[in-house]
Amino acid sequence: MAPALAPAALFGLLIGSFLNVVAWRLPRGESLVKPRSKCPGCATQLKAYDNIPVFSWLVLRGRCRGCGEKISARYPVVEAITAALYVLVVAVKHDDVEQMALGLVLVSFLVPIAVIDLDVKRIPNALTAPAAVLAIALGALLAPSDLPEQLAAGAAALIFFLLPTLLSKKGMGMGDVKLVGVLGLYLGRAVAPAIFIALILGVVVGAAVVARKGATAGRKTKIPFGPFLAVGALIAFFVGDDLVGSYTDTF
């Protein structure tokens, strides 16, 4: 049976719209349910037809219908990325219910985590804690035989980064450490290439910042690691087992 890509795209757009709300309101301690979305300029509540994911932003040319205030392109970008990732998960994992469910849930948490970390340099427990619980619940429900590997990978990844963080002030933030543990629950042994990819991305971006700002200013620039972990996790979700298999076959 062919995967249902159109429903996945539509659902991804709707979820992406909600994730924009999460990314904006959660760090500010605001309700995720009410009030309805409003213009950042004139505070007018948006009509339903002005809040259609991606489409409304394009029709309005990125501006409020009432006051003309510019609306960030981040909103349609988040919606489009979420939809694209939903489609990719369904297309690749449609024959494995457990992996498809884990992938969709993982995307739904990683998108706001990455955006929030970029904004406020913090990863909320309000996202990592339920993500961990859902990973364990889905594993126990859909593939209990895989649950020991999930738990072992989550614990190993958490401890691997927790110890350096406790021993050195220059270690990762606790939000990053908790996120790595959560990724182990979703990825199993594929968490290893996810971490490796994230570290490589971090080094490359860090080097670019140093080259642009100079050594002194570059080293003082705080670069959130959550987005790198998110990218690494998504790559590893799709090809991580293959990478691990290739490595073990070679060595």
The yes-or-no verdict on residue 1 having pLDDT over 50 is no
Residue 68's pLDDT is 80
* Range scoring the smallest mean pLDDT among 5-14, 19-28, 166-175, 228-237: 166-175
pLDDT single digits (tens) 197-233: 999 999 999 888 888 888 777 777 888 999 999 999 9
CA distance linking residue 114 with residue 228, whole number of Å: 8
- The single residue listed with the structure tokens 């062919």 is 2
pLDDT single digits (tens) 73-122: 999 999 999 999 999 999 999 899 999 999 999 999 999 999 999 999 99
Q: Long-range contacts made by residues 35-44, C-beta under 8 angstroms, separation at least 24?
A: 39/64, 39/66, 39/67, 39/69, 39/71, 40/69, 40/71, 41/67, 41/68, 41/69, 42/66, 42/67, 42/69
Q: Which of 22, 26, 27, 60 shows the shortest CA–CA distance to 44?
A: 60
CA distance linking residue 147 with residue 79, whole number of Å: 31
Between 81 and 4, residue with greater pLDDT:
81
Percent of the chain topping pLDDT 70 = 94
Q: Model pTM? A: 0.91
